Structure 1
Amino acid sequence: MPWLNAAGNLLLVAAAIAVLYRPLGDYMAWVYTASGHLRTERWIYRLISAKPEQQHSWRGYLGAVFSFSLAGFILLYAVLAFDGMGPDLAFNTAVSFVANTNWQSYVPEQSISYVAQMAGLSVQNFVSAAVSMCVAVALIRAIAAHRAAALGNFWVDLVRTNLRILLPLSIVFAVLLLACGVVQNFTESTALLPGGPVASQESIKMLGTNGGGFYNANSAHPFENPTPISNLMQVLMLLLIPFTLLRTFGTMVSDQRAGYALLLTMSVLFLLVYLPLTYFELHGSGTAPQLAGAAMEGKEQRFGIIGSTLFATATTGTTGGAVNSMHGSYTALGGLMLMVDMVLGEVAPGGAGSGLYAVLVLVVIAVFVTALLLGRTPVYLGKQLGTRELKLVSIAILIMPVLSLGGMALASALPYTRAEIIAGMGNPGSHGFSEVLYAFISAAINNGSAFAGFSANTPGLNTLLGLIILAGRFAPISIVLALAGALATAERASSRSAELPLHRPQFVGFLVSLIMFIAVPTFIPLFLVGPLAEGLMP
């Protein structure tokens, strides 16, 4: 019966995505290729002194991303500091929301005003997600280009993403959340009835795979996620744009087979986490789980095991970071699966935009390896790949492990931050180690979720994790846009008849295996010390 429930929940979400896959994906492709501008968009271009006719090279596009994100960080930091937040926490929070990570080391309903929530955090929920989608579209244009150095205009892409995609979708889903019982008001919060403009923030939080929460209890709070229906809707919102962007990709490169291959890859990776995670939670070892029938500690009764594991798989497989259960209370092997989901590079299916460009980086590696094995020229969608592209993607796959493991090593080596880590660990031994490891992985991959047993709200950890989040966001974007610049000017293969059949199940299987091989082995020694050691204890 539980597995029937698990299959039913998954199929409901999959069916909704299947219905929206083509219309939403094609609509987004039209948004990014349309030549005309709306009147409102032209007003915005005049306001920010942007030239919509200007085309950016990859350096110009990257410079625009950096300048816009820096301005967003300064403004958000000022809003949070004016709201009374301390300097180190304001830095961490501003960096986190600008980087689409939304790591929360504070209690929102106690320390953030409605103005800061709406004018600060909610604005970044929109624009940080839009930046990721813009970078993904720039890479798509590069793949589809015929020796053209331009990747489009960042300001046009940014404005269109917000006005034509994110804003309409967020309004629709905010209304649906209101119908499910999510609150939306400006009533002053009390100890018993915390109010606030929740539904409007919740919709863009999920659609933009932003994470965080209006309340400290996040999506476990009954005013933020009141029913199993709202829970499924939030899972759908997390997965909707990352999956439908694959249709956008196929439309813009004029080859839907390539989009379907990526869709199958991401779906397989999602299942490879969801199924064992659900199994471990349904068969939790120990007296309490056996008496309860499952490992229900840290999970809401109204969602149960299945509603919790489906949400957890979706949020760790995207750059979501929102949680409807305490990940630190999962079984040891269940917690391991959540960490594996993040170290895969968040390509199952990844964040809004970031999942697509992350998986395309891995596709470039897979094409090179496949071509070498078969003695063929590496070609992807008509573009001949060279050593420059291989060097860039080789650097890209090193960023997350270097930041997470290197950051954790640095924090453990410095006496000041080591003392903060020891004081912040909610549990000793292997579980405490898992809490710290999870935090650094989450920061480096821009996820934002936490095991919830580790308190990182200290000056040293706020600063260090903020810097890791910053590097984890903009180092990959820099590499991806450099890769886009190389692909845009790359020679096209003389004939596409010699291309490898990269849309077939064999390649999908190889790509899934390659992603697992690249991502997981680096972390196995730490998993042995943390979740595996805890899970294998008698």
Structure 2
Amino acid sequence: MGIFLLSVALLLVFVALIAKPVGIYIANVFSNDKNTSLVGKIESVMFKAAGIKGHNQTWKQYALALVLANTFMIFVVYLIFRFQEVLPLNPSHIKGMDPALAFNTAISFMTNTNLQHYSGESGLSYFSQMAAVVFMMFAAPATALAVAIAFIRGLAGKEMGNFFVDFVKSITHVLLPIAFITGILFAFLGVPQTLSGTVTAHTLEGASQQIARGPVASFLSIKELGNNGGGFFGVNSAHPFENPNAWSNVLQIVLMLLLPTALPFTYGKMIGQRKQGRILFISMSMLFIVILSTAFVTEWGGNPRLDAFHLNEASGYMEGKEVRFGVGMSTLYAIVTTASETGAVNAMHDTLTPLTGLLTLGNMMLNTVFGGVGAGFMNVMMYVIIAVFLSGLMVGRTPEYVGKKIEGKEMKLIAVTLILQPLLILGGTAVALTTHLGMEGISNPGFHGLSQALYEFTSSAANNGSGFEGLGDATPFWNISTGIVMYIGRYFGLITMLAVSSSLASKQLVPETPGTFKTDTSLFSGILIGTTVIVGALTFFPVLVLGPVAEYLTL
């Protein structure tokens, strides 16, 4: 166990070391208006062909552009899913998707959720996987990264920029180069990359078995880098073709954490106050380490009921976990994928011990440890502003952040944003638990059944996409309800936070005085962590008590 913990520590240190240079690189990409590189010249041709002049937009124009562009892409991809049977690159002759399932899947991938109510290898053709799913796996994180950059510009007192320019730059300068290199690495590590159909294998007993394959390596790289998480295969990264060995598992973890951990440094560089970004990184890292450490303790403890059968032992509770990865790497992956809002899994979260399940739920409910590309950073900034506001109230002074006063308009927008997620999660769960359409999909009785429904709506609202597998979610009720929750949960918060940034950008800088509350100190880091836990976690405390906590107490 000691060697394993040392390897985990080294892995996390490596992520921390590369986070800063990657963050600074992203800041430079979006601070360089005149790019004379080959990529920059190609971009110029693309902008000219598309009629994009690159003029600065107001926050309303920026928000409208991102919503209309994303909604149009959802519609196009919906059509691809519906008519994939007659489209090319379908060697397995997979039929078109059901309307409700196509609705859910199109929204799911465009909102960076990747909630899958179908089995990957049998639900989509190669054309759908590449032209629709992989396309959205680039478009979705590019959208969120663009909005995060626009938000940072507003805090720095600059123009918002242009959504289409930021969107294209996110793909060409950030996502595509890294995904291309890591896609080659995954192929080198044994992940398939082919357009050939399924293979028929003959077993020693004389039976035949159909083995699915496809362009998996290119899919996998952007799946993890863009915090998407959808699996090419039904069992996601527990499949030996999607995650063949320990090295591919480690590379996936690094990719999931790469951009979320880098964005605080991007923020510090772009506003000209690097300590501000550093304190955000440290605060979120501390939360992450506490959650991960607790998960290791609870998961290695296993299920007390198994002790009598000597199934627990030192190896922990192995149900639902890949033997190749064991309890430790399965637990690390579960915490990383929910902290980064990726949603990929290398073990079934339905079989996690109750307290580990609670921690994965908590990661998604907070969506700040570190959160997904762009959207998670915006949530972190929401809690930063709340922490600043509460600190100002405690000392009787108008709160200020990066030289801008936090006043009623900003806090009203923050309050509306903060309350939306509990409404989506708790409202959706309540409907599911009080209707026949919702209850018929729940496969477990009692407290665990409540956790199944709660996890599904939490994953949808937080745009995570992982699930407590075992829920019968491939029904019109679950497809439509979670589709609506994913769409609202994605775009409402991005738009309101853009409005907050625009409001702060229009204000005059307030000179720093001896009475100014500093937000780049260890004191503020503690206040930020406390605010995140108290305001965020306690919002969901009652339902967590009814679900995973109650289940734990009955073991």
**TM-score tier after normalising by the smaller chain length:** over 0.9
Asked whether 1:179 is paired with 2:188, we answer yes
Please show how residues 9-48 of structure 1 align to structure 2 within 5 Å: 9=8, 11-37=9-35, 38-48=40-50
Asked whether 1:522 is paired with 2:501, we answer no
Q: Which amino acid in structure 1 is aligned with residue 47 of structure 2?
A: Y
Q: Which amino acid in structure 2 is aligned with residue 245 of structure 1?
A: L
Asked whether 1:131 is paired with 2:143, we answer yes
SS in 1 for 2:312: helix
Quote the Cα distance in structure 2 between the aligned partners of 1:497 and 1:174: 52
In structure 2, the gaps of 5 or more residues are 85-95, 200-208
1:256 to 259, 274, 285: 274
Deviation at 1:292, TM superposition (A): 7.0
Contact 2:16 2:261 in 1 (8 A): no
Contact 1:382 1:499 in 2 (8 A): no
In structure 1, the gaps of 5 or more residues are none
1:100 to 112, 115, 126: 112
Deviations 1:249-291 (A, max 9, x none): 1100111110111001110111121111111110112226425
SS in 1 for 2:211: coil
Give the alignment's TM-score, normalised by structure 2. 0.92
Please show how residues 90-489 of structure 1 align to structure 2 within 5 Å: 90-145=102-157, 150-190=159-199, 191-284=209-302, 285-287=304-306, 289-291=311-313, 293-344=315-366, 346-413=367-434, 418-489=435-506
Quote the Cα distance in structure 2 between the aligned partners of 1:449 and 1:193: 24
Quote the Cα distance in structure 2 between the aligned partners of 1:530 and 1:299: 22
Moved over 4 A (4+): none
Quote the Cα distance in structure 1 between the aligned partners of 2:340 and 2:448: 24
Give the alignment's TM-score, normalised by structure 1. 0.95
Contact 2:433 2:439 in 1 (8 A): no
Deviation at 1:373, TM superposition (A): 1.2
Quote the Cα distance in structure 2 between the aligned partners of 1:185 and 1:381: 51
Quote the Cα distance in structure 1 between the aligned partners of 2:2 and 2:445: 34
Quote the Cα distance in structure 1 between the aligned partners of 2:167 and 2:427: 33
SS in 2 for 1:473: helix
Deviation at 1:375, TM superposition (A): 2.5
Contact 1:265 1:508 in 2 (8 A): yes
Quote the Cα distance in structure 1 between the aligned partners of 2:265 and 2:319: 39
SS in 2 for 1:399: helix
Quote the Cα distance in structure 1 between the aligned partners of 2:23 and 2:282: 16
Contact 2:433 2:450 in 1 (8 A): no
Superposition RMSD on alpha carbons, in Å? Answer: 1.4
Quote the Cα distance in structure 2 between the aligned partners of 1:293 and 1:220: 18
Partner of residue 73, structure 1: 74
Quote the Cα distance in structure 2 between the aligned partners of 1:239 and 1:136: 17
SS in 1 for 2:233: coil
Quote the Cα distance in structure 2 between the aligned partners of 1:372 and 1:4: 47
Q: Which amino acid in structure 1 is aligned with residue 412 of structure 2?
A: K
Contact 1:211 1:448 in 2 (8 A): yes
CA 1:498–1:252 in 2, change beyond 3 Å: closer, same or farther?
A: farther
Deviation at 1:23, TM superposition (A): 2.2
Deviations 1:62-96 (A, max 9, x none): 01101110111011101101120010000000011
Deviations 1:118-140 (A, max 9, x none): 00000000010000101111110
Quote the Cα distance in structure 1 between the aligned partners of 2:513 and 2:74: 45
Quote the Cα distance in structure 2 between the aligned partners of 1:383 and 1:317: 30
Contact 2:441 2:472 in 1 (8 A): yes
Contact 2:433 2:453 in 1 (8 A): no
Partner of residue 90, structure 2: none
Contact 2:443 2:472 in 1 (8 A): yes
Contact 1:219 1:324 in 2 (8 A): yes
Quote the Cα distance in structure 2 between the aligned partners of 1:262 and 1:19: 15
Moved more, 177-186 or 62-71: 177-186
Asked whether 1:495 is paired with 2:512, we answer yes
SS in 1 for 2:176: helix
Quote the Cα distance in structure 1 between the aligned partners of 2:290 and 2:527: 15
Q: Which amino acid in structure 1 is aligned with residue 452 of structure 2?
A: E
Q: How many pairs were matched up? A: 527
Q: Which amino acid in structure 2 is aligned with residue 197 of structure 1?
A: P
Q: Which amino acid in structure 2 is aligned with residue 537 of structure 1?
A: T
Q: Which amino acid in structure 2 is aligned with residue 277 of structure 1?
A: A
Q: Which amino acid in structure 2 is aligned with residue 351 of structure 1?
A: G
Deviation at 1:116, TM superposition (A): 0.4
Quote the Cα distance in structure 2 between the aligned partners of 1:421 and 1:177: 39
Quote the Cα distance in structure 2 between the aligned partners of 1:468 and 1:524: 21
SS in 1 for 2:255: helix
Contact 1:380 1:499 in 2 (8 A): no
